[in-house]
Amino acid sequence: MMGVSYRSIRVWQRNRDVFFKLWRSEIPGFFAEPLLVLLAMGLGLGAYVVLEEGERYVEFIAPGIIAAYAMFSASFECTYGSYIRMEYQKTYDAIITTPLNIEDVVAGEIFWGATRSLITAFVVLIVISAFGLVSSPWALLALPIAVLAGLMFSSIALFFSSVAPAVYSFNYFFTLFITPMFFFSGIFFPLDGFSTVIQNLSWILPLTSVANLTRAVVSGHPGDGAWWGLAIMVCITAIFFTLSLRSMKKRLLK
């Protein structure tokens, strides 16, 4: 696809090697923060929340936290992480003097972003299992869903990086795009309470589908999921992957 080759794996390997070298500094992002949110919201706030059918609030939000932190992992990796490699460390400039081209770099970065989502989803899944919040083997499907979500959010984030004029621009990305999704994609409260218009609009947010499907599999009722959401995710990924390729090429091959 548009110049991407198997060589993109080399970029993925480079990022993997650096990650496993520096993983201790990554713990807050993929381990401590989701745990903190689960405890504070799930157990703290959850003590005051009564749900239908006797469901505990912590059970309600646990799958949403997998989805949300899969989003955060990919988004941080392909905004701050990628931007630092591109602009400050000039890693991309070095790589494109080898047989790799810029398309390989873009694909490698996006695949690595998706891998970060997978690692986070895996860790959070283990933690919530330890809390006894997972009751069905269907929950394992949360991992491939996280990979797809990772591809989608990495593509969006890398596109934003390719047009970002400065590292400060990411404040806009997180404040106006990522944080609203964190609150309005059905992670902390069901969207049923809103008007039908709002409910329908919320499906535009990429995280809504991810949260919905993750909740369906983790709760052990995959039939409840709105699986057509996968099509939305694939479309968004395809669009932003292509945009990232084009725009990165324009930025770096002057």
Partner 1 sequence: MSVIAVRDVVKRYESILAVAGVNLDVVEGECFGLLGQNGAGKTSLVRMIIASSPISGGSITVDGKDITVAPREIKSHMGVVPQEDNLDPDLTVLQNLIIFARYFNIPKAEARDRALEVLQLFELHERQQAKISELSGGMKRRLLIARALINRPRLLILDEPTVGLDPQTKYLVWQRIVTLKERGITLLLCTQNMEEAWRLCDRLAIMCEGKIIALDSPQELLAQHGGSQIVEARPGSENRRDIVLEMLGERGFEWQEIENTLYIFEDHNRSLDDELRAELSIMNLHVPTLEDVFLKLTGRSLRE
Q: What is the 3-state secondary structure (H, E, C) of the chain?
A: CCCCCCCHHHHHHHHHHHHHHHHHHHHHHHHHHHHHHHHHHHHHHHHHCCCHHHCCHHHHHHHHHHHHHHHHHHHHHHHHHHHHHHHHCCHHHHHCCCCCCHHHHHHHHHHHHHHHHHHHHHHHHHHHHHCCCCCCHHHHHHHHHHHHHHHHHHHHHHHHHHHCCCHHHHHHHHHHHHHHHHHHCCCCCCHHHCCHHHHHHHCCCHHHHHHHHHHHHHCCCHHHCCCCHHHHHHHHHHHHHHHHHHHHHHHHCC
Determine if 93 is a binding residue for partner 1 (CB under 8 A): yes
Determine if 1 is a binding residue for partner 1 (CB under 8 A): no
Stretch that binds partner 1, among 18-26, 32-40, 41-49, 110-118 (CB under 8 A): 18-26
Q: Which is nearer to partner 1, 96 or 239 (CB)?
A: 96
Stretch that binds partner 1, among 9-17, 69-77, 138-146, 164-172 (CB under 8 A): 9-17
Q: Which is nearer to partner 1, 90 or 221 (CB)?
A: 90
Site for partner 1 in 144-173 (CB under 8 A): none
Q: Could you say which of 91, 185, 202, 244 contacts partner 1 (CB under 8 A)?
A: 91
Q: How many residues bind partner 1 (CB under 8 A)?
A: 24
Site for partner 1 in 30-89 (CB under 8 A): 89
Q: Could you say which of 44, 99, 144, 190 contacts partner 1 (CB under 8 A)?
A: 99
Question: To 10 degrees, the CA torsion angle through 131, 133, 137, 143?
Answer: -80
CB of 169 to partner 1, least distance (A): 22
Q: Could you say which of 35, 96, 201, 230 contacts partner 1 (CB under 8 A)?
A: 96
Q: Could you say which of 70, 95, 217, 236 contacts partner 1 (CB under 8 A)?
A: 95
User: Under the rule (CB under 8 A), what is the footprint of partner 1?
Assistant: 5, 7, 10, 13-14, 17-18, 21-22, 89-91, 93-101, 252-254
